Structure 1
């Protein structure tokens, strides 16, 4: 079994918009001289909600050591266009009316790079400036999640998850990786942007907010689900986790609270979305042990620092148990009792509700929740269970368009930052 942890890499994931970007360019601010006469300057782009494009004569150890000779604020009113093979024209009215700059670069690749970067920065600032009513809905040691809505379309909600740049770097890397995995996109939240904030050393992940609540919320309000619904959810969840593993990613915090559905119905269980990759890891033999997760939903071997695909099978088994019974297998008066029972790993099927569960579904739950990871059923085996897909085909489990469609993270090549 693989041993893994969240050791951060030194390289920024390709999809993260940096907090600051510096590039040399010839800047023609007004039409009083040809571009070829403009001197080489340093362009510094920084910020997110109100990004600033500044021109400096020199670049010292820190651009803060000197004052810029020209400044432009970027926003929704900013326009940008290519002007030839090596030039860009950018126009903004946030400081001066119709302030127009022509930026000349040494190579066409520099021009393309800056053009895409400016376009992304403008889109991000326009998005952030359109949001209102930020409300904290979740907080942990390393992250905080805000809910907000569009100022004009106030029924369009978004979630902004701000994570510690150092402690949660693995989550950022994995989110960037997921954005490039076409088969997985229907099972993920609709991600919009990832951007750095140097002030609090964080990275913010912006995504669609799903108003229907989590699977845990729905079970708490309406009670256990029908077997037909349980099969629908398990078919989608197991397929999503199987695809995740095929791409060498472990979720490691599979639970009802990390599952939502993109459905108009208050009890709609189609279009499953798997959330929160804060405990996720890449499969590797070289990384040290890690026990991040949720007590009561973790595979017993996780407490020894071991993790592999079997751990996610166990988490999915906890989801199945919760759907059919209305509670997770391990309960207690406090976190310590839950942790102790979870570490022991003895799952009992003596709850009265199990008497009314069909034999195949109960047998599946027992195999998924086996204490010994080597005895657990695999996702590949689960996906061969024809009775699990009686009401739908694997291809029909999702009906919506994939995440990222029409948004920055799909239209802009992530390799741009390489």
Structure 2
């Protein structure tokens, strides 16, 4: 879902709020999206089609203006003449974009510069543009989007509905590297590596990349903003808080290792709180030193990382992904005690203790730490990497399960009913609508996702970042679905047909549990799918998004499935038609059916829902 923009200036899309850090090779800034960029090509003036129409409109205004008399030689109208002379109220005299006239010597014909200013396109700051010639046939949506207003096509009573200011207020992190300042290729390689790694990862506890830019010998990476500080910022931690953080990190690392990615620089500075909330979740950041590996070549030799969390085998120059497990053991030790296990004033001293695995539990805080926690740390800080548990095995630790269950609150029955209704409806949606919801889910903040993340973790029994079919089946037991309908819903949510449901796929399938989605978010989704800013979604756009492996006939069928015409392209109006106003009534009806069925099944396992006509839930989509 990450957008890659070539030869585009990110400052046309984002405004800098604060420069967080500056180095010799680049910077990191806190940014927000510019209001004029929200909606992208769904906004008339941002699409190629719209710019063409606006140019035609501009030329039309020029012709109208030139048909007037030599108006620059006329005196300005007096108050009397304004009241009595019909010509003084002509539209051309009242246009805001002719206001420069009152600042010009009226006895002198306008210069070429004056004419350029006079005939230039009006800006949105001048107010809504309402005088388009009738032959341009602009519909209501195009007018509203051009003038920076969005009208919703859906029921907006739900809490998930956001206004323009909500999207404008979302903050992102913008990381940049100046290629021309580099004497070595290491830094640029590191950023490119981070981008390539992040493109392959999709997990609740891994920072999300939003888009990249290449412009004037610079590379920019826009990521979600984690504004709650790193692990150092909230030290000290209770044992429950420590377990929750370790559990989140292990889930992310288990997911990465199953995808053949090792982080190699786990430390307090690279684990960030998403928000300032006391119960904020954490996310892994900084994948510049991460590496991919395969089963045929799992051994690495690069001496990278940070000394205080570095595994002994990394110091020896021969290690595997189990080096990450050692680092998590160090993190757990530090969270529980507010001290490092291998202390030294010099790097050589620290490295010597690491090689000997020399540490103890003698600090002040260890007296109040449970034996289970100490055993957990000892299991991870094994000198022999083969004796350490894998990330998946470590996540099943009795200490983590006992401590985490105390603080974790899963969704309640009403929330689960809404989630189930969304999953049921999603199975019948068109492929293009599913892709649109994927984009919306990818761009949603952690606060907007809310209880859906907890629901994903409840479905994901193995805590590895995937929902397998057995996980899905177990989660739906309380609703009594038959196997056929479970399979339909599972494959409906498995958008890329990999045999498991990824995090963003689950969010896309359930995000309507928060309520209807407003048009501004739909416009953002349309802009992402319209990769060439043509004002239409075409098969070529979808090929760029989905990759060359998908047959062209299947990509074309996605367009044909939704298009109201036979032109093999989807306009913005057709795209909005996928989210019609009648869905909320259908959704409410399905929700009541699900609530009734669950209440009937409470205490009984004999009734089942079967042979649901999922296609009838959303026959239009």
TM range (shorter): 0.5 to 0.7
Deviations along 1:132-153, one digit per CA (max 9) or x if unpaired, are: xxxxxxxxxxxxxxxxxx9999
Work out the number of aligned pairs and report it: 292
Residue 198 of structure 2 is aligned to residue 175 of structure 1: yes
Residue 358 of structure 2 is aligned to residue 376 of structure 1: no
| Greater shift in the superposed pair: 314-323 or 336-345 | 336-345
Number of the residue aligned with 1:97: 121
Answer whether contact 2:267 2:309 (CA < 8 A) is retained. yes
Relative distance call for 1:205 and 1:351 in structure 2 (3 A) is same
Relative distance call for 1:153 and 1:50 in structure 2 (3 A) is closer
Shift of 1:325: 1.0
Q: What TM-score results when the alignment is normalised by the length of structure 2?
A: 0.41
Shift of 1:282: 0.7
Counterpart of 1:232 (choices 244, 261, 264) is 244
Answer whether contact 2:231 2:271 (CA < 8 A) is retained. yes
- Runs (4 or more) in structure 1 with deviation over 6 Å come to 92-95, 150-155, 402-405, 407-410
Shift of 1:288: 6.0
Answer whether contact 1:260 1:274 (CA < 8 A) is retained. yes
Counterpart of 1:217 (choices 233, 237, 241) is 233
| Greater shift in the superposed pair: 155-164 or 302-311 | 155-164
Relative distance call for 1:323 and 1:78 in structure 2 (3 A) is closer
Relative distance call for 1:91 and 1:369 in structure 2 (3 A) is same
Deviations along 1:57-115, one digit per CA (max 9) or x if unpaired, are: xxxxxxxxxxxxxxxxxx639974799xxx9614187995289xxxxxxxxxxxxxxxx
Answer whether contact 1:214 1:261 (CA < 8 A) is retained. yes
Relative distance call for 1:411 and 1:192 in structure 2 (3 A) is same
Counterpart of 1:282 (choices 268, 292, 296) is 292
Distance 2:244 2:254 in 1: 16
Number of the residue aligned with 2:341: 329
| Greater shift in the superposed pair: 402-411 or 230-239 | 402-411
Number of the residue aligned with 2:209: 191
Residue 195 of structure 2 is aligned to residue 208 of structure 1: no
Answer whether contact 2:311 2:326 (CA < 8 A) is retained. yes
Shift of 1:277: 0.8
Shift of 1:361: 0.8
Distance 2:195 2:302 in 1: 17
Relative distance call for 1:304 and 1:399 in structure 2 (3 A) is farther
Number of the residue aligned with 1:355: 367
Counterpart of 1:247 (choices 255, 259, 274) is 259
Structure 1 or 2: larger helix share? 2
- Structure 1 gaps of 5+ residues are 1-13, 21-45, 52-74, 100-125, 127-149
Which structure has the larger Rg over C-alpha atoms? 2
Shift of 1:174: 0.4
Relative distance call for 1:189 and 1:409 in structure 2 (3 A) is farther
Number of the residue aligned with 2:4: 17
- Structure 2 gaps of 5+ residues are 14-35, 56-115, 124-147, 149-163, 178-186, 412-449, 454-502, 509-520, 530-541, 549-621
Answer whether contact 1:191 1:409 (CA < 8 A) is retained. no
Distance 1:172 1:189 in 2: 11
Distance 2:366 2:360 in 1: 10
Answer whether contact 2:315 2:351 (CA < 8 A) is retained. no
SS in 1 for 2:255: helix
Number of the residue aligned with 1:346: 358
Relative distance call for 1:76 and 1:155 in structure 2 (3 A) is closer
Shift of 1:232: 1.3
Relative distance call for 1:353 and 1:197 in structure 2 (3 A) is same
Number of the residue aligned with 1:258: 270
Residue 331 of structure 2 is aligned to residue 319 of structure 1: yes
Structure 1 or 2: larger strand share? 1
Residue 282 of structure 2 is aligned to residue 272 of structure 1: yes
Distance 1:411 1:389 in 2: 40
Relative distance call for 1:321 and 1:204 in structure 2 (3 A) is same
The alignment yields a C-alpha RMSD, in angstroms, of 4.1
Answer whether contact 2:10 2:220 (CA < 8 A) is retained. no
SS in 1 for 2:51: strand
Relative distance call for 1:76 and 1:409 in structure 2 (3 A) is closer
